[in-house]
Chains A and B, each alone.
Chain A
């Protein structure tokens, strides 16, 4: 195996790991997948390391020469279909070998796969918000108006993400919009209280899952990932609460609420 071939295999492993990490897969899944792919292509001595913001891989060839590669992860979202697809890909590569070029094309195709379109996700967010108003003990009016607030919030957040405002600002504005919506519905007497409505709409943004995963990582021994996910969750919730809190403060002062 020459340098070029090893470089290609490392590249495939990194790309597979990157897709899993960027789309909400677990840390150990990223590391394991990278090692499996290397061994499927005939590299036996391989070590990989992943945190939510980067992945590193290092291999030794039969002559004792060391090769490594680092990839920075800038985008973190959740797209579980891609995680599933890469998982199937690595399973397939282990069982019946393919050429590196084919593997790379397949990974590129997985990364290009489209998610649900904007209107479907907005509808899903709307239905989800309505469902959450009932989970939190809301009444019929909250169920109805939560539908609109949740859908509109999703549209706003998608738009802000598209112009790449950065996750902190997007979440702060999302929090502000949810608080404003809840306050307006209450002000016009459509719902008894803003809290359940605003909270239900914000369920699509709050990092409860990220925080739970942070503790899970830490307990599983991935300490660095635990810390970074924990900080991620804290900064998201700070953004949401400062947006919502600031809006409510302004409304209380000038809106007569």
Chain B
């Protein structure tokens, strides 16, 4: 598992170069990619459904990205978009269409449903965390005004 986590981090960092992430942000992107894959692998190792693992992974990655974004004063997407690549079901989407073309409809349907579940779970993970972050920031500001 350690090898896979380190490879996911390396993959995220090198894809960061393709998407023109620069300087120290690149290292943080790589760390976030590895972190997300670690959470996902931890869930999978404990026999949790893959899409639930992806939900937790994307939630943890969004928390990391929001914190890093506030520290470095840049949009959270910089740390999130590329770091998500090792877990988003891009490969499964590819095999979905490939199976359709081969005529293996049952395999295609399974892949298609899995793609929907997995990317849906990742999107929900991001949305839940970022809405709570906004509420949290607003609350903190209001508390600051009162105190």
Residue positions of A touching B, CB distance < 8 A: 24-26, 29, 78-84, 87-88, 91, 115-116, 120-121, 124-125, 127-128, 131-132, 134-136, 154, 199, 202-204, 206-209, 211-213, 215-216, 219-220, 233, 237-238, 240-242, 244-245
Contact = CB atoms under 8 A, between A and B. Distances in A.
B75 A87 contact: yes
Interface in B18-48: 18-22, 25, 37
B75 A84 contact: yes
B90 A209 contact: yes
A125 B14 contact: yes
Given A208-B90, A237-B93, A29 B75 contact: yes
A199 B93 CA distance: 11
A65 B4 CA distance: 60
A202 B127 CA distance: 28
Contacts, number: 154
A181 to B, nearest CB: 15
B18 A212 contact: no
B136 interface: no
A127 B21 contact: no
Contact of A135 (B11, B74, B100, B126): B11
Nearest to B22: A81
A240 B128 CA distance: 32
Chain B contact residues: helix, strand, loop or mixed: helix
Interface in B46-85: 73-75, 77-78, 81-82, 84-85
A116 B90 CA distance: 24
A57 B73 CA distance: 27
Contact of B84 (A207, A209, A215): A209
Interface in B103-133: 115, 119-120, 122-124, 126-127
13 contacts: A80-B16, A80-B82, A84-B25, A91-B73, A121-B18, A124-B15, A127-B10, A128-B11, A131-B14, A134-B3, A204-B15, A213-B123, A238-B97
A211 B77 contact: no
A29 B80 CA distance: 15
Contacts of B25: 80, 84
B78 A124 contact: no
Contacts of A120: 17
Contact of B127 (A78, A203, A220): A220
B63 to A, nearest CB: 16
A26 B126 CA distance: 13
Given A80-B77, A83-B77, A87-B74, A131 B20 contact: no
Nearest to B126: A216
A116 B21 CA distance: 9
Contacts of B11: 128, 131-132, 135, 203
A213 B127 CA distance: 11
